[in-house]
Each structure stands twice: as structure tokens, then as C-alpha cells.
Amino acid sequence: MENLIGANEMQAGDTIRFYGADFVLGEVTRWTGDDGLEVCRAKGVTENPSDVMLGDCYFYDNMTKQYRWTFQGNKFATLNRVS
């Protein structure tokens, strides 16, 4: 089941569905932006990239040999958390 959450609700270990794949989030860093809103950032890694991701150099990290993405945003950016 997917739940739409604000990016400021991300937690380490969450699974986020993005581009047809499920990414597990690592450490979440938080800070307050110039506008006073909390901003969050976390790197996610997927073991099962979608077909769309396979040929896209933006997702593949050649150094770690993993498909990764950095998720970032405040309460106005939404993510699909898988539960």
C-alpha cells in the first residue's frame, strides 16, 4: 500500500516508490530553509531498478554499482511511501 507523505516526513528505513522502483532510504538530514520551512534530504537505494532506470545514467552510481536517488524537499514536496 502506498501513502502520500510530505518530504519532511521521511524517516531512515522508509521505502519510497519512485520511477517504478522501491528505494530504501538511508540517513535523513534536516535543516531549516531561508523561508523557515524544514527541508529534508535522504539517499535511497533500490535493488530492483525499473526498466526505465536501466539505461538512465542519472540513477546508476558507477562507484558503488547501485541504483540510487537523492530525495529532498519540504512539506510541499510529496513522496509515495510504501507500507
User: What secondary structure does DSSP assign to 9-76, as a single string?
Assistant: G--TT-EEEETTEEEEEEEEEEEE-TTS-EEEEEEEEESS--HHHHT-TTTEETTTTEEEEEEEE-TT
Domains of the chain and CATH, by start:
2-74 (2.30.30)
Please report the pLDDT score of residue 51 as a whole number.
92
pTM here is 0.91
Q: What is the pLDDT of residue 33?
A: 84
**pLDDT tens digits, 58-79:** 999 989 999 999 999 999 999 9
